Chains A and B, each alone.
Chain A
Amino acid sequence: MSLIEITEVKKRFGDNEVLKGINIDVAPGEVIAIIGRSGSGKSTLLRCINGLESIDEGSISVAGAQLLPDELHLKALRLKVGMIFQQFNLFPHLTAGRNVMLSQMVVKKTPKAEAEAMAKAMLERVGLGHKFDAYPDQLSGGQQQRVAIARALAMQPIALLCDEITSALDPELVSEVLAVVKELAGEGMTLLMVTHEMRFARDVCSRVVFMHQGRVHEIGKPEDVFANPKTPELQQFLGVTH
């Protein structure tokens, strides 16, 4: 039984068709890396899954919650999938702890004490328990991204979407964020990540999706996709010459 079902999804920006019929089924606990050139539609696909972009055709459902454009359905869907962004997007006027507490209290109406306990636990989980009272601009990029992960986790989603979450980080900060993601994967969290970290994709992911010109061009286990790229486009993307 699939957790995330993406069926024949098409998306256009004006005349430009960026998704040309995408089909992917994700089983619970799977970790999927989406790779491809910029402009191949990988970020757009991810943003469609939690309704940040509307789709023109096809359907997307996450654990039974359909993607429909009204606020009620969107909210139901978004409670099931969390999202982490390239630019962290922490709320700069709130402390790390408050960042993690806010949506629990506002969206789920969790009482403050409970939300605070959850925030502490989640910050602890990403190794930032001691930064509860720090403001985002007092944290490094890697720390900010870990707070963003804690913020998404506090809503107890059943899947996480990661949109190039290490691309805005200095090289030495990448590993601390990936370590957290790896831990989540180990705990059985379902993850869909757009990434340029090929080594990470190879080590941690259960499947790799290569997107090219708005289509799923190749899909398979990382050892097959990386070791035996079948299409010339993927070979070129990976820099393999035969």
Chain B
Amino acid sequence: MDEFTTWDILRNLLLAARWTVLLSLVSFIGGGLVGAALLFARIGSGRIGPSFVKAYVELFQGTPLLMQLFLAFFGLGLFGIDVPAWLAAGVALILWSAAFLTEIWRGCVESIARGQWEASSSLGMGYLQQMRHVILPQALRIAVPPTVGFSVQVVKGTALTSIIGFVELSKAGTIVTNATFEPFTVYGLVALIYFCLCWPLSKSSQILERKLNVAHRNH
């Protein structure tokens, strides 16, 4: 029987971690774009937009991410569409991230005092001008720490995609364990890699929060 060194294990895990990083980035950026579009529909004055987004958010926040992944992976298969694991994982995570980011950002926009809307209205600005010049610049400042904080959830969320067969860090951990029979070492290293990805994110979220909200709030 072949012997595996710790380095062999770590090397294989690190190679797979690339896919965790890539999937996280795609989910976060894609979710951000979809989330921004949903945000405008949510806080706009239309009738259909806000209620659609509300239902969307409730659906995605009210069901486990794992079920969403299953539905994306197996659901489309029912219609004879063959969905590769990476596509199902990407789509499900983008839609899931979008739901949470919309909700985070809506809170930030709504925390801006009503007087800011009224003052800019009374000066003759239209909705988009108010958003662009008055509301969003203030809301973004508030939104940065929770948004960066949420990116940690996205990274950890990618672990679930191992179940539909997408080979990222967790799935690689299982595969390597099956070859080496050293689950404790392998999963210990897997956890360590996740920690190295997530810790800087949550730390920077804390630093940003202190920087943007407490000292010199407006400068």
Contact = CB atoms under 8 A, between A and B. Distances in A.
Interface of A: 50-52, 71, 74-75, 78-79, 82-83, 85, 87, 89-93, 102-103, 106-108, 135-137, 148, 151-152, 155
A50 B138 contact: no
B80 interface: no
Interface residues of B, number: 22
Contacts of A74: 121
Kindly name the residue among B113, B122, B134 whose own CB sees the greatest number of chain A CB atoms within 10 A: B122
A87 B123 CA distance: 16
Contacts, number: 69
B138 A107 contact: no
28 contacts: A51-B121, A52-B122, A71-B127, A75-B126, A78-B123, A78-B124, A82-B122, A82-B123, A83-B119, A85-B115, A89-B115, A89-B119, A91-B116, A91-B134, A92-B138, A92-B217, A93-B137, A93-B138, A93-B141, A103-B125, A106-B133, A107-B124, A107-B125, A107-B129, A137-B217, A137-B218, A148-B119, A155-B124
B120 interface: yes
Contacts of A75: 124, 126
A90 B218 CA distance: 12
Which DSSP category, helix, strand, loop or mixed, fits chain B's interface? helix
A137 B113 CA distance: 15
B219 interface: yes
B58 interface: no
A79 B124 contact: yes
Nearest to B141: A93
Interface string B118-155: 11111111110100011001100100000000000000
A152 B118 CA distance: 13
Given A106-B129, A137-B218, 9 more contacts: A52-B118, A75-B124, A78-B124, A103-B120, A103-B123, A107-B125, A107-B129, A108-B124, A152-B122
Given A89-B115, A106-B133, A71 B123 contact: no
Nearest to B126: A71
Given A107-B125, A155-B123, A89 B218 contact: no
Contacts of B133: 102, 106
B217 to A, nearest CB: 7
Give the interface centre of B116, B124, B133, B218 by most chain A CB atoms within 10 Å.
B124
A89 B112 CA distance: 11
Contacts of A90: 119
Contacts of A82: 122-123
A151 B219 CA distance: 20
Contacts of A83: 118-119, 122
Contacts of B118: 52, 83, 85, 89
A135 to B, nearest CB: 5
A71 B121 CA distance: 10
Nearest to A51: B121
Determine which residue in B116, B123, B141 has the highest number of CB atoms from chain A within 10 A of its CB, and name it: B123
